[in-house]
Amino acid sequence: MDFQAILEEITATLQAELRAHGPRGEVAQYIPALARVPAGHIGMALRTCDGQEAVAGDGALPFSIQSISKVFTLTLAMQHLSEEQLWSRIGREPSGTAFNSLVQLEFEHGTPRNPFINAGAIAVADRLVGLYGDAACAQLSAFLSDLSGEPIGYDEEVAASEAATGFRNQALANFMKSFGRVDHAVDTVLDLYFHQCALSMSCLQLARAAAYLSRDGAHPVRPGAHIMTERQTRRINSLMLTCGTYDAAGEFAYRIGLPCKSGVGGGILAVVPDHLTLVVWSPALDETGNSVLGQKALELFTRRTGLSIF
Residue 126 lies near ligand GLN (rule: CB under 6 A): no
Least distance to ligand GLN, CB of residue 276, Å: 23
- On whether 158 is known to bind a ligand per the annotation, the reply is no
Give the binding-site size for ligand GLN (rule: CB under 6 A).
11
Distance CA 47, CA 119 (A): 31
Instruction: DSSP letter for 192, please.
Output: H
Distance CA 49, CA 108 (A): 39
Residue 289 lies near ligand GLN (rule: CB under 6 A): yes
Between the two ends of the chain, the Cα-to-Cα distance in Å is 19
- On whether 237 is known to bind a ligand per the annotation, the reply is no
- On whether 193 is known to bind a ligand per the annotation, the reply is yes
Residue 279 lies near ligand GLN (rule: CB under 6 A): no
CA 281 to chain CA centroid, Å, is 12
Of all residues in the shown chain, the one whose CB is closest to ligand GLN is 67
Element (H, E) at 241: helix 230-243
Residue 66 lies near ligand GLN (rule: CB under 6 A): yes
Indicate the residue type of 31.
I
Least distance to ligand GLN, CB of residue 126, Å: 15
- On whether 254 is known to bind a ligand per the annotation, the reply is no
Distance CA 202, CA 143 (A): 16
Burial of 211 (0-12, 13-18, 19+ CB in 10 A): buried
From 264, 271, 272, 279, the catalytic residue? 264
Q: Judge whether 132 counts as a catalytic residue.
A: no
Binding mask 224-263 for ligand GLN (x = CB under 6 A): ---------------------------------------x
Residue number with CB closer to ligand GLN (227 or 269): 269
Residue number with CB closer to ligand GLN (10 or 197): 197
Compute, in degrees rounded to 10, the torsion defined by CA atoms 179, 182, 186, 188: 170
Residue numbering of the annotated binding site for substrate? 67, 118, 162, 169, 193, 246, 264
